[in-house]
Amino acid sequence: VQENLRWNVDRSVADRICNFNRHYAEYSGYFKTVPEFLNETNDTPAGKEITFYDSNTGKPLFYAPRGRTMEQFIKESRNHGWPSFRDDEVEWKNVRLLENGETVSVDGTHLGHNLPDGKGSRYCINLVCVAGNPTK
């Protein structure tokens, strides 16, 4: 994974979850323990979004919030334990959904899983895997 991941997330956890794993996740609620991330969500003006980048490649993977407010994005994420994205928030040129529900980047980074609910697809994503810095 990249050096100096965004929001000061744990690089060793990111490496283990993103690169040497197909099934496991950071612990539920991890993102709520990352003040730099929570501060960014609080400081993002209404109508603006945060871009989430692959922790290995720096490619954009998700944009939130799209089609909802930041408050709604955070509430849903808190309810499920991981940052939770909807179809409109996925950068599909860089993200793939495997038949078993695993969500990965086109470069093979494990991101999380699709756990659909009554509103449709819901991608529960490990913050450590989308804390990359954009490539220039």
6-16 pLDDT, tens digit per residue, is 999 999 999 99
Classify residue 2 by its DSSP letter.
-
Digit-coded pLDDT (tens) for 70-125 = 999 999 999 999 999 999 999 999 999 999 999 999 999 999 999 999 999 999 99
C-alpha separations of 23 from 45, 56, 108, 114, 117 in Å: 35, 18, 14, 12, 20
Asked if residues 50 and 41 have their Cβ atoms less than 8 Å apart, the reply is yes
Reduced to 3 states, what is the DSSP secondary structure of residue 119?
coil
pTM given for the model: 0.96
